[in-house]
Amino acid sequence: MSDSAISVATDFVHAINRQNVDSLASLMTTDHRFTDSLGNTVESREAMRSGWAGYFGMVPDYSLAIEETYAEGPVVVLIGMAQGTYKGKAGPATDNRWKAPIAIRARIEDGFVAEWRVYADNEPIRALMRRS
């Protein structure tokens, strides 16, 4: 299961890096659960379809650079960097670019992402949001 779980989690990362909401949704279980680094949870594929679309509207070039991947059965842990450009009120600007360490815990069920839990320092983007 670990190799296929890694493959599904990697496909999810690729969909994120392409900002492809339809591909992300196609990889989620219907009862998908997303938890951000503050512990906020969103449940359901359709709610997260909207969530990802909104986030990509705010950070249109959001991407993940995964450096390490570990798996144990259906659980995959990804470690790397998240980065993007905060759109702000005036649109993306070079000084709105941010980068931060990230860890993700994904739980895969029957070839779909059932849970995507993010552990990240979001202070870089929060500072840009406060400034805008």
Q: What are phi and psi of 119, to 5 degrees?
A: -120, 110
Q: Which domain holds residue 65?
A: 2-131
> 48 with 28: CB under 8 angstroms?
yes
Per-residue tokens: 104:
């993700």
111 Cβ neighbours under 8 A, 6+ residues apart: 4, 8
pLDDT tens profile 92-113:
567 788 899 999 999 999 999 9
The CA distance from 83 to 129, in Å, is 15
Query: Running along the chain, 132 residues long, what does each successive block of 10 average in pLDDT?
Result: 86 98 98 95 98 95 97 97 85 78 97 96 73 70
> 66 with 79: CB under 8 angstroms?
yes
Predicted pLDDT at 35: 97
**Number of domains the chain is built from:** 1
Answering whether pTM is above 0.95, one says: no
> 112 with 15: CB under 8 angstroms?
no
CATH number, position 34: 3.10.450.50
